[in-house]
Structure 1
Amino acid sequence: MEVRISGTHFPLETLGPGQRLGIWFQGCALACPGCMSRHTWAPEGGTTEEVSGLLRMWEEALGRGADGGARGGGGPPHQP
């Protein structure tokens, strides 16, 4: 299964306690006022990634000491 990703970052230390893996999804039609991730709204932006690749990234982050994860960007209803 594929999803659109705006970007990832590890270690992320600003969106929760400890070191986290941050994944920003791409594509959102909600257009919430005050959204801080407007760059993730366009559904054609970002890159296409396999969910299996994101799972490998998560496993690597855990191996490097990740304490958790953070999801941002595109709206959850727009992802498989």
Structure 2
Amino acid sequence: MEDDIFSGKVRPEKIPLHWVGRPTSSAPGWRWDDPHDSGNSVRFFAGDPDDPQQWKQTPYVIVVSSGSVVGSDGTSVSGFDPPE
């Protein structure tokens, strides 16, 4: 099931039905974009065990709300440029 999320075969249940999915461009994964607000998206990445950044070596999710990356605690993460 997890691989299906990264390939876009399965829409995660919390992604709104009107959001549009497409492959990510920077790493293997899938992104969901709000067609009514380009500042909102959720990106699912499969991870790369050879990536020098440890947090990118396993599957991870990037949430962008109103143009800002949001951490797991719901607050903005400053100085983080989200991957495509």
TM-score of the aligned structures, taking structure 2 as reference length: 0.25
Q: Larger strand proportion, structure 1 or 2? A: 1
TM-score of the aligned structures, taking structure 1 as reference length: 0.26
Q: Larger helix proportion, structure 1 or 2? A: 1
